[in-house]
Amino acid sequence: MADVLVLNAGYEPLHRVSVRHAIHMLVREVAVVEEAVDGRSFGPFPLPRVLRLVRYVTMRWLYKAGGAPACTKLGVKRRDGECAYCGGPAETVDHILPRSRGGPSTWMNLVAACYECNSRKADRTPAEAGMVLRVTPHVPRADHARALRYRAVRAA
């Protein structure tokens, strides 16, 4: 067993920790075991598979002012799921208005792209490169971003 899922007090997934770190959390009494490995224990504690924090942790680092989730490359790739130009696998992100022209790294200016389409577009806008966007960039809602994080945690 490589790692343990840690849930917030409200049952939202936060992250994964090592078994050693999980045992330390149990000893400090900051978490309780929600799900354990059958028949295995570590001293007086069952070997945890899922822990829940006793107190709610506010995830300020995840959200900027206004409730919008922080914009990250991984978040953009998860939001779009495929290349915004050809529909292939999303391997990187592309600035619709290139950074060299003052394009910001925001949810509304970033789309997922494959390496080939990103190279072909280069330092141009999609219109200048003769490429059409298959997706419309949008800022994901906080609950949508949380669901994407949970899916990623479960897959890890």
pTM of the model: 0.55
pLDDT the model gives residue 72? 86
pLDDT for 146: 58
pLDDT higher for 68 or 82? 82
Tens of pLDDT, residues 85-106:
999 999 999 999 999 999 999 9
SS3 annotation, the chain: CCEEEEECCCCCEEEEEEHHHHHHHHHCCCEEEEEEEEEEEECCEEEEEEEEECCCCCCCCCECCCCCECCCHHHHHHHHCCCCCCCCCCCEEEECCCHHHCCCCCCCCEEEECHHHHHHHCCCCHHHHCCCCCCCCCCCCHHHHHHHHHHHHHHC
Give the per-residue pLDDT at 156. 42
If one counts every other C-beta atom within 10 angstroms of the C-beta of residue 48, the result is 26
Q: What value does the mean pLDDT of the chain take?
A: 86
- Tell me the per-residue pLDDT of 128-146, one tens digit each, with 9 for 90 and over: 999 999 999 998 876 665 5
